[in-house]
Chains A and B, each alone.
Chain A
């Protein structure tokens, strides 16, 4: 009980600080907006309230989105759009021209296709594992267990860690002389080059990202499980349903809305995987863990060739995939309702 009150008071402390700072700004703005209202009247006020948001949103999100098309359809190495010559769909053609789409070596932009294949493989395995692991964990947490709150936070803790910290923690464990190789040699086996071997690197990128994010999806699924009315289970047990029947006929169908959310969110997140891998393997060994966003980043920012057009075209293709995924979610949500 004492722990509870203590915890709450620390929370209050944070609240008080944030509200004190907020109050200060609010009173300055009070003066400005009071004068404004006297000039433009009540009818103009809603516009004044959305204006700051719209300005930031328009300049830094909406405008760049439109500008992305300009980059995608212009060529050259110039950074400023007015100096870039119009090339039509040449960037897209360069990205998409392949003799054999299944073999990146035959493509003009082989790095792009390597990134596409790497990302596709990563998405399939990572999302599959993620949904499976978070479903099992949510089911376990939904049982009558002691200290559920504690275990729930255990899974959630890595979600809060920054991608760089996550990458460094695991790099430290998996490096040649790291903890895992220490355990392996203690068991009498040879060291495994986890970060040097392409397949192992891909494997660990998947494991790490599941480790880092699963707590978030587990929470969503757990909330769904807890909203299933318990009298359904009682009725099922009276009717003599076994555990598997109960799970497949009651739990799974009623959990479907949350499963869709988890599936789509983890898909969208997986397509955009970047920072963990960037710090963990840097895309290597070779191009084994080069994923789409890193391809875009390297084309636009770190490669000396400054191929902004290719970067923009690739990002438009990726945006297309993301929009399709979002639409699928919307449609499925509507069908649920």
Chain B
């Protein structure tokens, strides 16, 4: 114990634990609860049965009632802890309930029926993590379809984003040509204009192209992001021009220079853009909401939102589906969190 204490108090190079150190660690511990707690509560709740989900006050862990299979009964019987008339308690199995009276049997002597007031019995429960909500949710929620759509959008949009933006960044950073500055300026000036400002006309364009209810309408429009061009161009400017000149003398075509020299050298910037793009696309909501109106074309986010908007909210299913939706991005984060945080800290954008 004293070892732990000396380890904890070994801060700021002093011998004593300073008051500011205590405040720091209290702040950090509270933060862990506030930042992770809600997600943890969601995950714990997602294993609760539909009956338990609406119980108040809520309990921390998901419970399920113990059952027992007895000869002579087709279905497993639920177990209760019963307070008998003489004051002793006993675990009994309930056969049926009639009004305020429950007919119970003793598992050790199943032949004899004991009648008990329902006030006198408490269910025997244990902590139980079952996948029932997940299975039922996936079946009733069209999860596979939404997941497929989300994966298609994320993968193809990211490939297209990387390709289109790195090509443009290459041209804007490594060539002198008429109109270069104009093109760059127009792109940069729209950097801060969000989709929300052009909702109506974008919908018109999508309609005219015929991409309503088509995943292409979600994939293509966002692919040319000024952010991406800017990020890649700044990086490519640091690649020396001599490399390109040498390759040209060796007879390499411009495309070869781009694909064999520039792309491999720009890998760190491309990695950052990949992470951004995956994050943007997986979590995107407003754009797919406008483009997609047929249920079977929904992405996970749009599907999840329409599912929670239905009349009788089935929380136990929604919770399970929410966990499934946040799972992929959490796994990616767990493995790549260092790359993500440093990438964002250095570029200053999201």
Contact = CB atoms under 8 A, between A and B. Distances in A.
A216 B205 CA distance: 33
A158 B229 CA distance: 27
B190 A169 contact: no
Contacts of B330: 157, 160
B11 A145 contact: yes
Interface stretch (B62-70, B87-95, B109-117, B180-188): B180-188
Contact of A222 (B56, B338, B345): B345
A169 B57 contact: no
Contact of A163 (B168, B171, B283): B283
Given A50-B167, A219-B341, A318 B197 contact: yes
A144 interface: yes
Given A25-B159, A57-B187, A162-B283, A15 B35 contact: no
B230 to A, nearest CB: 12
B301 A64 contact: no
A79 B208 CA distance: 11
B290 interface: yes
Contact of A149 (B329, B338, B350): B338
Interface stretch (B24-32, B76-84, B133-141): B24-32
B205 A173 contact: no
B193 A161 contact: no
A172 B45 CA distance: 9
A278 B286 CA distance: 10
Contacts of B25: 145
B224 A165 contact: no
B337 A172 contact: no
A156 B337 contact: yes
Given A216-B350, A311-B199, A315-B199, A169 B39 contact: yes
Contact of B326 (A30, A50, A62, A161): A161
Contact of A160 (B196, B204, B223, B279): B279
A256 interface: no
Contact of B344 (A50, A154, A168, A219): A219
Contacts of B220: 56, 60
A299 B196 CA distance: 13
Nearest to A158: B35
A261 B308 contact: no
B304 interface: yes
Contact of A153 (B56, B198, B341): B341
A275 B192 contact: no
Nearest to A294: B196
A241 to B, nearest CB: 16
A65 B198 contact: yes
A137 B138 CA distance: 39
Nearest to A19: B267
Interface string A174-194: 000111011001100000000
Contact of B254 (A42, A71, A318): A42
A303 B348 CA distance: 38
B335 A7 contact: yes
A14 to B, nearest CB: 7
Nearest to A58: B224
B171 A22 contact: no
A106 interface: no
Interface of A: 7, 10-11, 14-15, 18, 21-22, 25-26, 29-30, 33-34, 37, 42-43, 45-47, 49-50, 52-54, 56-57, 59-65, 67-68, 70-71, 79-81, 136-137, 140, 143-146, 149, 151-165, 168-173, 177-179, 181-182, 185-186, 211, 215-216, 219-220, 222-223, 261, 268, 272, 274-275, 278-279, 282, 293, 296-297, 300-301, 308, 311-312, 315-316, 318-319, 322-323, 325-326
9 contacts: A29-B259, A30-B256, A64-B201, A144-B11, A162-B325, A163-B283, A168-B308, A296-B199, A318-B197
Interface of B: 11-13, 20-21, 24-25, 27-28, 31-32, 34-36, 38-39, 41-42, 45, 54-58, 158-159, 162-165, 167-168, 170-172, 175, 177, 180, 183, 186-187, 190, 192-194, 196-205, 207, 209, 220-224, 226, 229, 253-256, 258-259, 263, 267, 271, 274, 279, 282-283, 285-286, 290, 301, 304-305, 308-309, 315, 318-319, 322, 325-326, 329-330, 332-333, 335-341, 344-346, 348, 350
Given A71-B201, A172-B319, A181-B57, 4 more contacts: A162-B325, A164-B304, A223-B346, A315-B200
